[in-house]
Amino acid sequence: MDTAQNGDLIMLIAPKKKHMLFKLQADAEMQTHQGVLMHNDIIGTPYGSKVFTHMNAELRLLRPTLRDILLHTKRRSQIIFPKDIGYILLRLSIRSGSRVIEAGTGSGALTTALAWAVGESGKVYSYDRRNDLQNVARKNLRKTDLDNQVEFHLRDISEGFEEKAVDALFLDVPDPQNYLKGVRSALKNGGAFGALLPTTTQVSVLLEALENDNFLNPDVCEILLRFYKPVPARLRPADKMVAHTGYLIFARPDFPS
């Protein structure tokens, strides 16, 4: 039986769908507006069970999904949204054992997803010029026990990337066109390149640079996500939707035969 253990990152859901994520620590307690939960009372409890505060408020114990973790990421900067991250992982073909570079780190949402996907046999190399942002990302990764999968570099990527023959490389920077030579140098033959940009003007500049630098089959897309109100008798779109968050660009460098 799968039970919650000391050190697990867990999620509690209240009846009104309020989510709480935290790491179990022996002898600690969780304060909620519906009462106190002792961590020791949760440790050893099967996932999917009901747990109760000292005020007898009912909560459901679950393992958080990757999406849950990303939505609860502590942030000092705008994060890449889960709807975009899912497609990024698909297009870059990130899997167990992959070696992938990202820049910049930001608050570490994409870093977390990449580390989750590459597993213990892979590696994520994360570049940023801001130490304060990388410190936030480090803390977020420690909460999920994924920090061992990530190697941080505090440096300007105009100096190039330290790694060679990586499987994929993703840029979340304002001017990715300036770093394509470094991208080509870091990727293995057939490796995948991706970038995120907020405006069409920036995308046009990058597309021209990709063409001039012999990158193959560029794709540009944006992902819009609309939820529906889950009421069987009145199923209809939710009042708000996650619309434009950025344009995704993907391509592969053409290497000499």
Residue 35 shares a structural domain with residue 132: no
> Is 200 part of any domain?
yes
Residue 150 shares a structural domain with residue 215: yes
Residue 80 shares a structural domain with residue 193: yes
Residue 38 shares a structural domain with residue 58: yes
Residue 201 shares a structural domain with residue 107: yes
> Is 42 part of any domain?
yes
Residue 109 shares a structural domain with residue 177: yes
Please give the residue range of the domain that contains residue 37: 9-62
Domains held by the chain: number: 2
Given this model, what pLDDT does residue 154 score? 96
Total Cβ atoms within 10 A of residue 64: 19
Residue 97 shares a structural domain with residue 43: no
Residue 108 shares a structural domain with residue 142: yes
Pairing outcome for strands 247-253 and 236-237: unpaired
DSSP state of 232: G
Detail the DSSP E strand segments found in the chain: 9-13, 19-23, 29-32, 35-38, 50-52, 58-62, 99-103, 123-128, 150-154, 166-171, 187-197, 215-221, 228-229, 236-237, 247-253
Residue 161 shares a structural domain with residue 193: yes
Look up residue 5 and give its amino acid.
Q
Residue 141: its H or E element:
helix 131-143
> Is 4 part of any domain?
no
Total Cβ atoms within 10 A of residue 132: 9
Tokens representing 195 are 């970038």
* pTM attached to this predicted model: 0.90
Per-position pLDDT tens, the chain of length 257:
799 999 999 999 987 767 899 999 999 998 888 889 999 999 999 999 999 998 898 999 999 999 999 988 887 677 799 999 999 999 999 999 999 999 999 999 999 999 999 999 999 999 999 999 999 999 999 999 999 999 999 999 999 999 999 999 999 999 999 999 999 999 999 999 999 999 999 999 999 999 999 999 999 999 999 999 999 999 999 999 988 999 999 999 997 76
Question: 139 with 147: CB under 8 angstroms?
Answer: no
Distance CA 120, CA 166 (A): 16
> Which of these, 144, 143, 95, lies nearest to 122 by C-alpha position?
95
> Is 22 part of any domain?
yes
Residue 246 shares a structural domain with residue 131: yes
Is the bond leading into 104 cis (omega within 30 degrees of zero)? yes
Q: What CATH number should be reported for the domain holding residue 27? A: 3.10.330.20
> Is 96 part of any domain?
yes
Given this model, what pLDDT does residue 257 score? 64
Q: Which residues pair with 225 in a beta bridge?
A: 242
Given this model, what pLDDT does residue 16 score? 72
* Domain end (from 39, 62, 85): 62
Tokens representing 45 are 């409890």
Distance CA 16, CA 209 (A): 50
Residue 13 shares a structural domain with residue 92: no
